[in-house]
Amino acid sequence: MLKSISKFILLAAITALLNKQELHAQAFQRNCSVISLGYGFGNNVIYDAMSDIIEEGYSYNQPSNKGSFHLAYEYAVSNHVGFGLHLTYYARELTHTEWTYDDNTYQYVEGYHYTLSNKYISALARMNIHMGHSKVVDPYFGFGAGFKSSNFKLVSSNDPYAYFGVFPGPTLDNAPVAGEFVFGMRVQFVPAFGAYFEGGIARSLVQVGLDFNINPHAGFIK
């Protein structure tokens, strides 16, 4: 009888210990390191800024978008707080071809070609506040602040009077500092690999991508 009771107590203790460990087996754990690679959409700030420059003397056609691309690193100082670095690269071009009316042929003929491009690079220190306890879903709020470089360049293939070179953009984009405030969520397919989503006040209104948890079980290291 005594042996049976001892076995029951031992089994209950082991079960309780496993349940406790399972409770803390969340997707984001202390001492883990996460690398994220993403692509952003909805870069309206830059689009509007470039449109304003074009309207000073040039019209435009369909723009081409080469980003934005996002690379981030985060280290978990606790099960709910992480610090890291967020890098962003963005490039966009607006092209235009002017047409003039020929009074002799009564037709429009092709004129000057212009291309206005913008390149943007930023490096922000980042803090994320994680709110979940699930092993699969990891919701968080993110805050970032840091530095950026943004410039505009106008070129023409056939207008000798066009300004060639780099020049500052509108006032909103001239400041060398940048910040962001976003809500995000990671979904882990397996402990070391998953996908993420972010949206909010940032260079990209929405971004999606993949995340790689270098040491997903680091939270159990004492």
pLDDT digits (tens, 9 = 90+) for 46-92: 555 555 555 444 445 555 666 689 999 999 999 999 999 999 998 87
Low-confidence ranges of the chain (pLDDT < 70): 1-25, 43-67, 160-174, 216-222
Q: Tell me the pTM.
A: 0.72
CATH architecture classification, 2-220: Beta Barrel (2.40)
- For residue 201, give the amino acid letter: I
CB 141 within 8 A of CB 183: yes
pLDDT at 137 (0 to 100) = 92
pLDDT at 69 (0 to 100) = 93
73 burial class (0-12, 13-18, 19+ CB within 10 angstroms)? middle
